Amino acid sequence: MTNLAKLALAYPEILLSVTCFLLLFLRLGRRGSNLPTNWPLLGMLPALLSSLYRYHDWVTDILRKSGCTFLFNGPWFSGMNILVTSDPANINHIFNSNFANYPKGEEFLEMFDILGDGIFNADHDSWKSQRKAAHALISDHKFRRFVAATSRDMVERGLVPVLSRAAEERSAVDLQDLFLRFTFDATCKQVFGVNPGCLSPSLPVVPFARAMDDAEEVLFSRHVLPRSWWNLLRRFRIGEERKMALAWEAIDYFIENQVEKKMEEVSKFREHKADPDEEMATDLLTSYLDRRPAVGDVAVESKKFLRDTTVNLMLAGRDTTGSALTWFFWMMSQHPDVEHKILEELGAILVKKQETCNRGNPVLFNAEDLTSAVYLHAALYESLRLFPPVPQEHKAAVQPDVLPSGDRVDPKTKIIVSLYAMGRIEGVWGKDCREFKPERWISERGRLRHEPSYKFLSFNSGPRTCLGKDMAFTQMKVVAAALIYNFRIRVVEGHVVAPKLSIILHMAHGLMSSGVIKRHTLRHMFKSSGVIKRHTLRHMFKSSGVIKRHT
């Protein structure tokens, strides 16, 4: 008899403990398809890394099986234990009823260091003063008119010509790239008062945009790596953190140039202003420099404040709206019945305005035209529900707390709120939660049905609700209406659509549309021939990524 056997017989409780441990460990190993195994030393990190390619769907699967809240255990001593939730009751508690206990915090500020002390990172009095100042400028009726005019102008002079050229040349086009170019031009115009011309015919390379994409990818990696690891990489500028350092330099180069030009422009305007009633430009940077709103102890005209503020505004304006439009048109390509209903709604709006297509010229819509476009509004909301531009939020408690789910949190506990998962939870949205169904947003009376913000979190919830929500949504409607009415857009058959590993829900491979037919070509065919063989049209529409609508 071995010494181990003798020990086991002498101390049966040891044998029982070892047996129970082995059985439990094996059981945990076998249940890998349900919940991630919590390994000794490594925690659940192996499961996370092995599922990184489908991160958001992996989180969704776990939350569906764990009752909407789950504690992720990171490696020992890594400080990576994270409470992940998509429970609306928890979200309402964190974002609304106990808002003061869940600021962004020091760790968030460190993780999102590239945003500086801007409004996304700010807390307490700094955040309140910045939000008050930004709200005053953004809600100004002159600025809102400026945004509406800018959006329409860039649709007319930017997006529509690019797609028309694609139709004429039957060339491939990446819709995600176009939408991000559009939102970059529009946001630069609204923030700095300049149009960088990203949608010019040559579609130039935009270093700032590339740098923003790189920075967002690194920010995502900081969420899935232990804090000490990425801090070490950052210190020595190696690995992903080298990419962040280079992106930071490119972003600051662009921003600093724009800020210096605007400061000089405002200074000259003040020196040579002859008419006291003469007004300055309406862009946000000019407004900050001209009105100098109070933002706590910080000098508004300081380059540090202006740099941080404009970086935050650029991130909010370019990336989120560009992402939302990309996923919306992916949904349109997959649901032509929804597109058809939107087209009918837009046609009815034009009938009321007594407008029709004018010799093949594109038809554009103003924000006022689209106030009655209930189905378009519902379809955009439904796309945002399934594909929120910011797929997850990061929170931390200041004081120990108990969430409505019964989970306890303390200041060392990170909290991840998964917006992406929440849109796919049956307990939140019903058994058809994974279906693209705009009708869920329309009441029996044909009006929009509103959901509480802690259930539909695309524009945040509570005191930090997005200041530019209405403007961003209006911009999306103007773009969507113009493109749906004037073009039929289809994605290349077999194109792989998957989320990118980024803090913004971009597509990893873009959204490719290839092959186009001009609208007046098909119109001429229908007029000149009484019959066109069905299989001919089927072939034409299958091979066409963008077709001008009046055809």
Dihedrals φ, ψ of 157, to 5°? -100, -10
Taking only the tens place, the pLDDT of each residue in 242-252 is 999 999 999 99
Specify if 27 maps to a domain.
no
Specify if 80 maps to a domain.
yes
Average pLDDT (309-332) is 95
Average pLDDT (221-233) is 93
Q: Is the pLDDT of residue 197 over 60?
A: yes
The pLDDT of residue 306: 95
What average pLDDT is seen over the chain? 87
Laid out side by side, the sheet with 392-396 consists of: 69-72, 82-85, 414-418, 392-396
Average pLDDT (346-369) is 83
Average pLDDT (502-525) is 72
Specify if 9 maps to a domain.
no
The pLDDT of residue 51: 95
Choice between 12 and 79, residue whose per-residue pLDDT is larger: 79
Q: Is the pLDDT of residue 64 over 60?
A: yes
State which residues form the domain around 405. Answer: 34-548
Choice between 30 and 270, residue whose per-residue pLDDT is larger: 270
CA distance 365 to 370: 7
Specify if 15 maps to a domain.
no
CA distance 359 to 209: 37
Least-confidence region, from 163-172, 351-360, 394-403: 351-360
The pLDDT of residue 277: 61
Query: Which H/E stretch holds residue 548?
Result: strand 546-548
Cα-trace Rg, the chain: 26
Dihedrals φ, ψ of 178, to 5°? -65, -45
The pLDDT of residue 362: 87
The pLDDT of residue 301: 82
Least-confidence region, from 189-198, 240-249, 533-542: 533-542
Q: Is the pLDDT of residue 524 over 70?
A: no
User: Which residues belong to the annotated binding site for heme?
Assistant: 466
What's the pTM? 0.88
CA distance 475 to 183: 9
The pLDDT of residue 514: 76
Residue 468, Ramachandran bin (φ over 0: left; ψ between -120 and 50: alpha; else beta)? alpha
The pLDDT of residue 545: 54
Q: Is the pLDDT of residue 69 over 50?
A: yes
For residue 2, give both structure tokens. Answer: 């071995």
Q: List, in sequence order, the alpha helices (H) in 98-199.
A: 105-111, 124-138, 141-154, 160-169, 175-192
- Which among 217, 215, 216, 162 is positioned nearest to 185, based on CA atoms? 162
CA distance 163 to 483: 9
Choice between 294 and 480, residue whose per-residue pLDDT is larger: 480
Specify if 541 maps to a domain.
yes
Please, what sign has the CA dihedral across residues 371, 374, 376, 379?
A: positive
Indicate the number of domains in the chain: 1
Choice between 449 and 9, residue whose per-residue pLDDT is larger: 449
Q: Is the pLDDT of residue 348 over 80?
A: yes
CA distance 502 to 52: 11
Taking only the tens place, the pLDDT of each residue in 209-218 is 999 999 999 9
Q: Is the pLDDT of residue 26 over 50?
A: no
Query: DSSP labels for 310-355?
Result: HHHHHIIIIIHHHHHHHHHHHHHHH-HHHHHHHHHHHHHHHHHHT-
Query: Which H/E stretch holds residue 291?
Result: helix 284-291
pLDDT tier at 4, thresholds 50, 70, 90 = very low
Tell me which range, 160-174, 231-245, 260-274, is most confidently predicted by mean pLDDT.
231-245
CATH code of the domain containing 501: 1.10.630.10
Specify if 16 maps to a domain.
no
CA distance 171 to 519: 15
CA distance 442 to 521: 37
Query: Which H/E stretch holds residue 72?
Result: strand 69-72
Q: Which long-range CB contacts under 8 A does 472-476 form with residues at least 24 apart?
A: 472/317, 472/320, 472/321, 472/324, 473/380, 474/147, 474/148, 474/151, 474/367, 474/370, 475/147, 475/151, 475/186, 475/321, 476/321, 476/324, 476/325, 476/328, 476/380
Angle between helices 336-353 and 469-486 (to 10 degrees): 90
- By the 8 A CB rule, do 87 and 69 touch? yes
Specify if 3 maps to a domain.
no
The pLDDT of residue 547: 54
User: Which residues belong to the annotated binding site?
Assistant: 466
